[in-house]
Structure 1
Amino acid sequence: MTQKVTILNPDTTAIAKQGMPQFFGISGATAGAQGISMNLTAFGPGGKAKAHYHRGFETAIYGMTGRIALYHGPRLEELSLIVPGTFCFIPAGIPHVAFNLSDSEPATALSARNDPAEQENVVLTPELDGLRDADAAALKTGA
């Protein structure tokens, strides 16, 4: 297969398997990528993801706007804050869930994964959904 440079400018979001709006960017399907995907996640005010992990693939995130609480670990017991200028690495197979910590402002993050299939290896973990909602709400209010 002959590779070529591809420029994409998605002007609308779609809902990712994880439940949040994303500008889907580079992937095998959109650009013929063979080892990477990259998207812009656009959390609306108060937005959150569904708990999930990425089967066999690592994720890198760069905070662009807003404050995002990332709970991670087997029971989502660990907390990392993603703010503008913050880089975050999530190893393959680590359950996580993200919350926009503002109910009035959006939050955005750029994510890259060593998986050109992008959504095919997202594994939802519904047994973990809701586990950290109260914690995230407390962070919003400063309680």
Structure 2
Amino acid sequence: MTKKKNGRPLKLDGKRTRFIKARFTEEEYALLRNLWLSLGLKESDFLRQRLLISSAVSNKINAVEVLKHLNQIGAEIGRSGNNINQLARHANFLNKRGMLSAEIVLQFNTIFTDYISIFRGMERATRELLRLLKA
């Protein structure tokens, strides 16, 4: 009877077996360490990217920070949506009582059109940013 192996199967292709050694001064190491920590990467992943990917030198994006800011933007969009709903409710209330003027409707439609165009621009920019982060 053979003993069953437990754990993850061994990686056959693409296994990293070679090491590169380098010496740094304390200042150089501190600079590199701050970079990989600010980017949220492990030391080996950071060095591998810097050595193998030429565009990694110019792309210093901290994905965690970007996602935090995107969450804040999403919350702000939600708040603006709530404000629009409140305005629509108030307009319906005024309309039922015959107090809604055409001037107010025209002004609301103009502002709402501006809001929609800004929102679509933000959607495009967010999609582009997520594509860049994915690459």
**Structure with greater helix share of residues:** 2
Higher gyration radius (CA): 2
Q: Pick the TM interval, shorter chain.
A: under 0.3
The TM-score normalised by the length of structure 1 is: 0.17
**Structure with greater strand share of residues:** 1
